[in-house]
Structure 1
Amino acid sequence: MGLAKLNQLYREVILDHAQNPRHHGDLTKASGTLTLRNPTCGDVINVSVLIRDNQIADVTFSGTGCTISQASASLMTTVLIHQPVDQARQLILAFSHLITGQPISEQLEEQLGDAVLVGSVAEFPTRIKCAALAWHALDNLLAQKGVGNHD
């Protein structure tokens, strides 16, 4: 795919998820909820997760922030909902590597789906925290619940 088409796809996916976020809101019955703030730009993300049988049964987010933080949170929910916790934590780590410019396997890229498009923030270090905020919140929740290992 050419660079121009990739840039257009990036814009379309990011804007769509920012303007029409998936799994946006709060869970009434959550296994855990965590709010994180990015003091650099003012993003605030609240992530709620419901874990059943060591699987993410549901995950939602709410809060305010820039287009990247909102789109990344929305993409996170679509990627990680219904994932076993161990697999979700592996994908969170892969996403973290991706947005910091570290290589990940093609298999992990495929599993991240459209979220790989957010990886281009690696070129803009000030935006990495925006993209990572919701993913870090969910990883912290999973770690607090003592399920799954994150190497």
Structure 2
Amino acid sequence: MVEPILEQAYGYCYILVLGAGFAALMIFITKVLSKFLGEKQNSESFTTSGRNTSSGLIASAVVSSWTWPGTLLTSSGMTYAYGICGGAWYAFAFTIQITFFAVVALEIKRKAPGAHTILEVVQARFGKVAHWVMLFYAMGTNVII
């Protein structure tokens, strides 16, 4: 067995000091931004990015959240089984979903500009019971995936 050079406590102290230093730096930057640039810093602007996120960033976030290991492995398997066309058709099938999602998201943004999540839209449109049903299915989907 190889003897460690340092004790485990040194590692924990290093991580804690590094984390505290990073937190202090972020607090300092936040204070500077609010004092000199007048940026509003609250949970609303944090969760929605101040509602000024560009379309390119939104598109890259959707594609990156869609591209998870199962997708990459299935795409590779389809390419292996059916050649280049297998991977291309697999990607094309999911491109339709992303395009449809973009159109629906734009329409939701027009009709419910203050909503943060799809659950808020469901609650406003269909009521509390539908909101709880959708919440149950959304949580179930997150557990499965």
Q: Same fold per TM (> 0.5)?
A: no
Structure with bigger RCO (C-alpha 8 Å, 6+ apart):
1
TM norm structure 2:
0.28
TM norm structure 1:
0.27
Indicate the structure with greater helix content.
2
